[in-house]
A and B are shown apart, each in its own frame.
Chain A
């Protein structure tokens, strides 16, 4: 099984030269640490910055320069700041090439739930609904099962939806899958995880075609 860092490491291989990328909070934020050398990408944060850099050095943090997780950040050469409407214009207008976000549940038809647990957690959707409704290339980073061992890759989401029919790829601690019209297509297994393990941990329709290679991280 992969650690959260390894999930981020595997997703980083999906980031291509010339991409503008929006990273969600949690595992997606870690992806920035693993983008290979020689690949030029710019990270967008929906609160209004393109060209986000690493955290500032101790003592150099600026209350006026934060990311969508409200963490202090720096900017890289070529960076720009803009207002919230323009930021979501970039997202809605499909100028952002890749969106990576976390999820509580993903369904075999590409539905995603990640913003609300009725009666328990109501923090809001932030920019997630705008992102999933408009982005064409969305990768979900998540754990395959919940703490009780129940699958988070379902036939239908049980939690309130964030978006419908929008997720194209899921990378979990167990597997890499494409989400197609027919269901989850298994592409890669985590080291030491069998196809049988993945099948047992996936409630939604899992399509296995031929040999499924082990992930290379």
Chain B
């Protein structure tokens, strides 16, 4: 067994520097690497490029890094629900690259899988296609998209073991599995870290080979963005 564990969030984030590009897992506030984000805020590093489907809310998720003006550029598919984000974008402080969600996922997966580029129909004929190569396949136009290049990927799983194997829960899975192994260094934080051998190899979603450092998060707030319920009859 190759042990991927690190003893603390500080050790997990060793090597992060201003100007780097990070992948950050999660959809909305679900499945975000809360502990890594909190530590990134503490480091005070700036001029970051963040690849993440969303930008959090004003006071949680990547919104915490936006508050401190640590992010220079966001690469996302949907950035509603964040007033500070909107303010920074409209004032020109923050660069924003909006790309289709499926393309975002696939550009991560391509980086993970060693595929430099791929063709997709998403965005053809729109401003997303501007400046990109177009090619017809089976009579349908597609645009060329490239794999991302990132320094760190921060992902969050439900359970993990010392070997870096990961299991996700519910829709908190989202972008986390496709970002694991898609950057130079992948840091996985988990709600529960167990010794190697405790997780059933049949149930592993992401093998430890894609994870460089793993640690158990000190605490999880797991904030709900849109609490919607029905009443019992």
A residues within 8 Å of B by Cβ?
Answer: 45-49, 54-67, 69-73, 81-85, 87-88, 91-92, 111, 122-130, 133-134, 160-165
Compute how far the CA of A75 lies from the CA of B104 in the bound complex, rounded to whole angstroms. Answer: 26
**Residue B105 is within 8 A (CB to CB) of chain A in the complex:** yes
Contacts between the two chains (Cβ within 8 Å), count:
181
Contacts of A57 in B (CB 8 A): 229-232
Binding site for A on B (CB under 8 A): 27-31, 53, 76-81, 86, 89, 96, 98, 100-106, 108-109, 120-128, 158, 168-178, 205, 222-232
Report whether A66 and B102 are in contact in the complex, using a CB–CB cutoff of 8 Å: no
Contacts of B86 in A (CB 8 A): 122
- Contact indicator B227/A127 (Cβ below 8 Å): no
- Asked whether, in the complex, the Cβ of B126 is within 8 Å of the Cβ of A161, the reply is yes
Whole-angstrom CA separation of A68 from B80 in the bound complex: 13
B229 touches A125 (CB 8 A): no
Judged by DSSP, the binding face of A is loop
- Measured in the bound complex, the distance between the Cα atoms of B232 and A60 in whole Å is 11
Q: How far is the CA of A128 from the CA of B99 in the complex (A)?
A: 10
Contact present for A127 and B89 (CB under 8 Å) = no
Minimum Cβ distance to chain B for residue A158 (Å): 14
In the assembled complex, which residues on chain A have CB atoms less than 8 Å from the CB atom of B229? 55-61, 72
Given known pairs A123-B78, A133-B122, the reply for A72 and B224 (CB within 8 Å) is yes
> Which among A59, A67, A81, A133 is the interface contact of B121 at CB below 8 angstroms?
A133
In the complex where A55-B228, A63-B224 touch, is A127 in contact with B178 (Cβ < 8 A)?
no
Q: Are B128 and A63 in contact (CB under 8 A)?
A: no
- Return the contact of B178 from the options A55, A72, A73, A83 (Cβ within 8 A): A83
Contact A87 B79 (CB under 8 A): no
Smallest CB separation, B217 vs chain A (Å): 14
- Known A66-B28, A134-B121; judge A84-B172 contact (CB<8 A): no
- B31→A64 contact, CB < 8 A: yes
CB contact under 8 A between A72 and B228, given known A48-B27, A126-B101:
yes
Residue of chain B at shortest CB distance from A111:
B125
Q: Bound complex: CA of A160 vs CA of B130, how far in Å?
A: 12
Q: A48-B173, A64-B222, A70-B29 are in contact. List 4 more A-B contacts (CB 8 A).
A: A64-B169, A85-B109, A92-B121, A125-B98
- A50–B107 Cα distance when bound, in Å, is 23
Tell me which residues across on chain B come within 8 A of A67, comparing CB atoms.
171
Q: Which residues of A contact B76 (CB under 8 A)?
A: 124
Report if A123-B230 is in contact (Cβ < 8 Å); known contacts: A66-B30, A130-B101: no
Q: List 21 A-B contacts (CB under 8 A).
A: A46-B101, A47-B30, A61-B224, A61-B228, A63-B30, A64-B31, A64-B170, A64-B171, A66-B27, A70-B225, A70-B226, A82-B173, A84-B53, A84-B174, A88-B105, A124-B76, A125-B128, A126-B100, A129-B103, A129-B122, A163-B126
In the complex, chain B residues whose CB is within 8 Å of the CB of A162: 126
Separation in Å of the A60 CB from the closest CB of chain B? 8
**How distant is the Cα of A127 from the Cα of B101 in the complex, in angstroms?**
5
Given A63-B222, A66-B225, A92-B102; A54-B230 close (CB under 8 Å): yes
Q: Is the CB of B30 within 8 A of A133?
A: no
Whether A47 and B224, one on each chain, are in contact in the complex, defined by CB atoms closer than 8 angstroms, is: no
The complex places the Cα of A96 from the Cα of B105 at a distance, in Å, of: 18
Picked from A62, A69, A85, A129, the residue with its CB within 8 Å of the CB of B100 is A129
A125-B105 contact given A58-B229, A92-B120, A133-B123, CB 8 Å threshold = no
B232 contacts A84, C-beta separation under 8 Å: no
Query: With A123-B80, A126-B78 known to touch, is A88 a contact of B126 (CB < 8 Å)?
Result: no
**Residues on the A chain within 8 Å of B124, using CB:** 133, 163-164
Known contacts A92-B122, A133-B121; A72 and B226 CB within 8 A of each other: yes
> Out of A54, A66, A165, which one reaches B226, CB within 8 Å?
A66
Whole-angstrom CA separation of A107 from B151 in the bound complex: 43
- Which residue of B is nearest A121, CB measured? B80
Given contacts A92-B121, A92-B122, A133-B124, contact A65 B102 (CB under 8 A): no
Most buried by B among A72, A124, A164: A124
A64, B172: Cβ atoms closer than 8 Å: yes
Taking CB atoms, residues of chain B closer than 8 Å to A83 are 105, 168, 173-178, 205
